[in-house]
Amino acid sequence: MIEIEQLTKTYKTKYGTVTGVDNVSLTVGEGEIFGIVGYSGAGKSSLIRCINLLERPTSGVIRIGGTDLTKLGSGQLRKSRLKIGMIFQHFYLISQKTVYDNVAFALRAAGTPAKKIRPRVEELLEMVGLADKRDVFPGQLSGGQKQRVGIARALANDPTVLLCDEATSALDPNTTLSILRLLKEINRKLNITIVLITHEMNVVKEICDRMAIMQGGRVIEEGAVYDVFASPQTELTREFISSVVSFDVPEQVLASVRGTLVRVLFKGDVAGEGVIADMLQRHAVKGNFLHGAIEYIQERPLGIFIMELTGERGAVTDALEYLQSRRAAVEVMNHGR
Ligand SMILES: Nc1ncnc2c1ncn2[C@@H]1O[C@H](COP(=O)(O)OP(=O)(O)OP(=O)(O)O)[C@@H](O)[C@H]1O
């Protein structure tokens, strides 16, 4: 488990003090995949780099498995760091070393006995699907393959935590997906806790269990990924979500709407269309669908419908109450004219 308590990181610059992380508290459960999302400058890198003390926090506590890293001396900290793997957007492989030696390097640096190195490297390369590339140099690898080497190297010393710093941001969408699947597989197989930072909401949607949204060094929203997608609490979160899930209809379509415009969400396994059909049958309202989709988040369906309801005001109100009684989340976007 990772416990971050009241973490603040400031930087002294010639223009004054800049706050990277502003009093952040977060807990990441053992074996969880936790995503931190935010735009450039939100403080994600500062936060993730504080978790393994690549950056020393200005104040606050970082506890991993109950040990406060900020209190450790340099020897103990080095040991603790071996249990925290990290992968990066630009991979940081050693270009003059082969794939094998890049991974072996991490084991040698940790003082692994020579005879254990080869079987371990082979096991790691097998795990990341690069057994046939062991004697190749990084320059001959694709971006996805380079990241696989990065992952093998990060896992070399059996870490309990893997930190991913924009690990898929330099990759195309298909390669991103294959790396995310590998990370999820590793997480499930080895029960490694993963913390990743990203500006891409699809990354979070694909593999994270829980997430936090950062802005201006602070966490402005946090929760299970499904819940955050289903009921975002802030405008920024809604903006991020709308990059991967469509909740809206174009302005020109909205302009032509005369009735009551409603957004209806069905969480979990409720059959949304059936409930809407029942509602239309039981109430003296007409429904005009403007948008309908079922999104799968963490393999759980989220039904999203946007529709225009027309009829007597009282009938529309009754219809909306009926939807709510059938466990739909209803948001009236516009009362009509
Ligand atoms: N070494 C540093 N020296 C001075 N200011 C810094 C330093 N590192 C980060 N900052 C500042 O801290 C704030 C947060 O930056 P940070 O890099 O953590 O954000 P981010 O969300 O990771 O953005 P990006 O994705 O662009 O790296 C920014 O205002 C940034 O300018």
Report ipTM for this prediction: 0.96
Which atom of ligand 1 is the closest one to the Cα of 20? 12
Residue nearest to atom 12 of ligand 1 (CA): 20
The runs of H, that is alpha helices, within 60-172 are: 74-82, 99-109, 114-127, 143-155
What pLDDT digit, counting tens, does each position of 146-162 carry?
999 999 999 999 999 99
What pLDDT digit, counting tens, does each position of 270-293 carry?
567 788 889 999 999 999 988 888
Pocket of ligand 1 (CB under 6 A): 11, 13, 18, 20, 38, 40-46
In this model, does residue 141 exceed pLDDT 80? yes
Pocket test for ligand 1, best of 12, 18, 54, 213 (most atoms within 8 A of CB): 18
Ligand 1 centroid–CA 239 distance in Å is: 21
The answer to whether residue 68 is domain-embedded is: yes
The answer to whether residue 246 is domain-embedded is: no
Residue nearest to atom 10 of ligand 1 (CA): 20
Across 59-68, 134-143, 301-310, least confident range = 301-310
Residues 99 and 190 in one domain: yes
The answer to whether residue 234 is domain-embedded is: yes
Assess contact for 224 and 34: CB atoms under 8 A: no
Residues 57 and 191 in one domain: yes
Domain tally, the chain = 2
In this model, does residue 268 exceed pLDDT 80? no
Residues 20 and 96 in one domain: yes
Q: Which residue type occupies 161?
A: V
In this model, does residue 257 exceed pLDDT 90? no
In this model, does residue 337 exceed pLDDT 70? no
What was the pLDDT predicted at 271? 65
Ligand 1 centroid–CA 41 distance in Å is: 5
Residues 124 and 268 in one domain: no
Residues 19 and 91 in one domain: yes
**Higher pLDDT, residue 268 or 38:** 38
Q: Which strands form 33-37's sheet, in the order they lie side by side?
A: 84-88, 161-165, 193-198, 33-37, 210-215, 218-224
Ligand 1 centroid–CA 35 distance in Å is: 18
Residue 191 burial (C-beta neighbours within 10 Å; 0-12, 13-18, 19+): exposed
Pocket test for ligand 1, best of 7, 9, 11, 213 (most atoms within 8 A of CB): 11
Domain that holds residue 259: 251-334
Which of 241, 265, 286 is where one domain is finished? 241
Residue 303 pLDDT level (bands cut at 50, 70, 90): confident
Residue nearest to atom 17 of ligand 1 (CA): 45
Residues 219 and 284 in one domain: no
Which of 215, 241, 267 is where one domain is finished? 241
Residues 228 and 89 in one domain: yes
What is the residue-averaged pLDDT of the chain?
Answer: 92
CATH of the domain at 81: 3.40.50.300
The answer to whether residue 217 is domain-embedded is: yes
What pLDDT digit, counting tens, does each position of 206-226 carry?
999 999 999 999 999 999 999
What was the pLDDT predicted at 294? 84
Residue nearest to atom 3 of ligand 1 (CA): 11
Distances (CA, A) of 7 to 25, 59, 144: 6, 6, 33
The H or E element that residue 162 is part of is: strand 161-165
CATH of the domain at 313: 3.30.70.260
The answer to whether residue 266 is domain-embedded is: yes
Residue nearest to atom 6 of ligand 1 (CA): 11
